[in-house]
Amino acid sequence: MIMKTNEKIFAGTKLKGIPMLIFNIFFLLATIALLCVGVQTAEEGNVTFGLTAIVPSIIFFMINCIFWGGFFMIEPNEAVVLIFFGKYKGTVKEDGYFWVNPFFTKKRLTLRARNLDAEPIKVNDKKGNPIMIGQVLVWRVIDTYKASFDVDNSSRTTTQAGVKTDNVGEKMKTYEYFVKVQSDAALRFVAGMFSYDNMENEDEKLTLRSGGEEINEILEKQLNERLSIAGIEVMEARVNYLAYAPEIAAVMLRRQQADAIISAREKIVDGAVGMVKMAIEKLSEQGVIELDDDKKAAMVSNLMVVLCSDEPARPVINSGTLHN
């Protein structure tokens, strides 16, 4: 899905930082030299000429001080949003050392991928069963305009003293909080769409326990829809923890154990029936012994007990004959 964006690359005047740094240093030295000449001339009695040198030197010094505010540096996978008296002018994503109009306000953002390992939360699945579910996701900022202007981060980028900070780490904590809140909401929504597991006599093909990649894809789609407003992209999202809530975990464990026992018993019985059938057919085909219906029933009963018993069989030797 292509999202509309107002982000644009800064196309205004952007000069290399090192040449401008050298120019500013020479500009400062020239200003100081002009001031010294003006002061010396005034002391020698030529006040008029001295003032004509002192006044411009003061003005040049103020301009020089303003110029120092135009320098900024960008590391790889970082961006600087430029604002001119409240108007968005563009974003600089090229790494390096630069100089721009000193009156630009600069908002620094990082475009690097970040992890969120969310603590498991208690939610209700499709059947209303309380479950514990957790997730881990990888996200990053891809739209600097939305990240800067569509998410209110003023309350969370303020220090304890009440002074706002331009620290990138503090700003990114704002987006981490936003991602955490929205990821919890998306996880609750996805968990409510599916059952934890298939119950007996149910034909649900997709469950939280067996869904695997399909559940992860649905979760990732939900997260991207919710976080797109902030210019954030979820690169990967996975359910990393899934269990019944403690209050029903013991009951559900017993149910799962019962299902496993029943399934195992069914396989044992199916195998035992096949073995008994094969034994009777071979005895009849090879003429080892002739069995009437009563004897077949007794043999079937004995073999089924031996084959399906949980404990080893204890044979009883019949010292008589089959005719007795």
Q: Does residue 308 sit in helix, strand or coil?
A: helix
Q: Top-level CATH class of 114-244? A: alpha beta
What are the mean pLDDT values of the chain's consecutive 10-residue runs (324 residues total)?
76 93 94 88 75 87 94 94 94 94 93 90 87 92 90 56 55 84 92 79 72 89 92 92 78 67 73 76 70 68 66 60 50
- Rg of the chain on CA atoms, in Å: 40
**DSSP secondary structure, 107-152, as one string:** EEEE---EEEEEEEEEEE-TT--EEEEEEEEEEEE--HHHHHHSS-
Q: Cβ of 116: how many Cβ atoms within 10 Å?
A: 16
Strand arrangement of the beta sheet that strand 15-16 belongs to: 15-16, 96-99, 71-74
What is the phi-psi region of residue 312: left when phi exceeds 0, alpha when psi lies from -120 to 50, beta otherwise?
beta
Look at the block and give the residue holding tokens 């305009």. 145
pLDDT of 310 reads 61
Q: Cβ of 282: how many Cβ atoms within 10 Å?
A: 10
Exposed/middle/buried for 299, CB within 10 Å: 0-12, 13-18, 19+? middle
pLDDT of 165 reads 47
Cα angle value 17/21/27 (rounded, 5°)? 145
In sequence order, which ranges of the chain are alpha helices (DSSP H)? 17-43, 47-67, 144-149, 168-193, 213-227, 246-285, 293-308
- DSSP character for 2? P
What is the distance between the terminal CA atoms of the chain, rounded to a whole angstrom? 85
Number of H helices, E strands in the chain: 7, 9
Q: Does residue 266 sit in helix, strand or coil?
A: helix
The answer to whether 250 touches 242, Cβ cutoff 8 Å, is no
The answer to whether 177 touches 234, Cβ cutoff 8 Å, is no
- Provide the whole-model pTM: 0.68
Instruction: Indicate the residue type of 272.
Output: A
Q: Does residue 89 sit in helix, strand or coil?
A: strand
In whole angstroms, give the CA distance from residue 45 to residue 54. Answer: 14
pLDDT of 150 reads 86
What does the domain layout of the chain look like in residue ranges? 15-107, 114-244, 250-308
